[in-house]
Structure 1
Amino acid sequence: MDRKNYLLKKATLEDYDFIYGVKKRTLRSHIEKIWGWDEEYQKKDFSENFIPSRNNIILVNDINIGVLEVAEEDKIIHITELEILPEFQGKGIGSEVIKDILKDGKEKGKKVKIGCFKINEGAKSLYLRLGFKILDETETHFIFES
């Protein structure tokens, strides 16, 4: 069995500020380009939708480096959030997390879905490289499926 380079830790209420900070640092530039960034709105939206039990903190060498949120259904595993702090991007961690979820999906006979902003070229190219196909799109997002 391959040794993972990361660990997942179930999030708790104490992780609220870290998770919001990751969202802000990783998604703000995309949100600004599409809708503009309204800090009050973002904080309110995050607060209203934050459910710790759905979130996992991604750790490398005991350092919190990102967030993973997955929703599993009968036939589909949805990766609803996968954000890696900028200083840890480009090191293969996101790819490793996704590959592990794809493997889990294959073992369970489930497809994996993930989405990203259309303007997020890095995420789009990563998902295509990992074998995802564009399933659908909205005005602002691509939806991918394994």
Structure 2
Amino acid sequence: MHIELVKAQNKDIVFLVKLRKLTMVKHLEKAGLHLSDDQHLSRVKFHFNEAYIVKQLDERIGLLKYIETSNAIEILQLQILPSYQRKGIGNFLLNHMIQLSKSLHKSLVLKVLKENRARYLYERNGFKTIGEDRYEFYMELKK
């Protein structure tokens, strides 16, 4: 699988807002959350310096955003365009992050909306639910 991660730039923001809406609105609305365009933009800009555009054959197909703390790597966003989902790309990226966390001897953590079926991808890869709030499960893959 030829996947490339390229540091996001300001010129990618319009794509990233569109991507976020395409991949997240249905899950957010099922949870009773209705976000404005400004709220979606704010989420895209959150930790923007840690955002990577997922490319396949030079086409932008997704986003991977993560931060590293002293004892963990936190995946903030992993989004793939709907037309590219269910083709193993999310799993490929998740395994990339698992290898990175292992090489750094850190846990890998993330949050997933309760209504998002991506939760099952994370569980299949060894993540365990360690907490939850009204909208999200907090998941971790231990070092």
Which of 120, 127, 130 matches 2:125?
130
Distance of 2:89 and 2:31 partners within structure 1 = 27
Per-residue displacement from partner, 1:61-91 (whole Å, max 9, x unpaired)?
Answer: 1110001110111110000000001000001
Distance of 1:108 and 1:142 partners within structure 2 = 24
1:52 equivalent to 2:48? Answer yes
Partner of 2:115 in structure 1? 119
Partner of 2:30 in structure 1? 33
Instruction: Give 5+ residue unaligned stretches, structure 2.
Output: none
- RMSD across aligned positions (CA): 1.4
Paired letter, 1:46? H
1:144 equivalent to 2:127? Answer no
Give the structure-1-normalised TM-score. Answer: 0.89
Are the structure 2 counterparts of residues 36 and 136 from structure 1 closer, same or farther at C-alpha, using a change threshold of 3 Å? closer
1:81 equivalent to 2:89? Answer no
Paired letter, 1:21? K
Distance of 2:82 and 2:26 partners within structure 1 = 12
Partner of 1:64 in structure 2? 60
How far residue 47 of structure 1 moved from its aligned partner, in angstroms, is 3.4
The sequence identity of aligned pairs, in percent, is: 29
What SS does structure 1 have at the residue aligned with 2:139? Answer: strand
Match runs of 1:83-98 below 5 Å: 83-98=79-94
Paired letter, 1:5? H
Contact kept, 8 Å, 1:13 with 1:52, in 2: the verdict is no
How far residue 44 of structure 1 moved from its aligned partner, in angstroms, is 1.4
Contact kept, 8 Å, 1:5 with 1:93, in 2: the verdict is no
Paired letter, 1:114? L
Distance of 1:119 and 1:65 partners within structure 2 = 22
How far residue 114 of structure 1 moved from its aligned partner, in angstroms, is 1.4
How many pairs are equivalent?
A: 139
How far residue 36 of structure 1 moved from its aligned partner, in angstroms, is 4.6
Distance of 2:127 and 2:48 partners within structure 1 = 28
Contact kept, 8 Å, 1:77 with 1:105, in 2: the verdict is yes
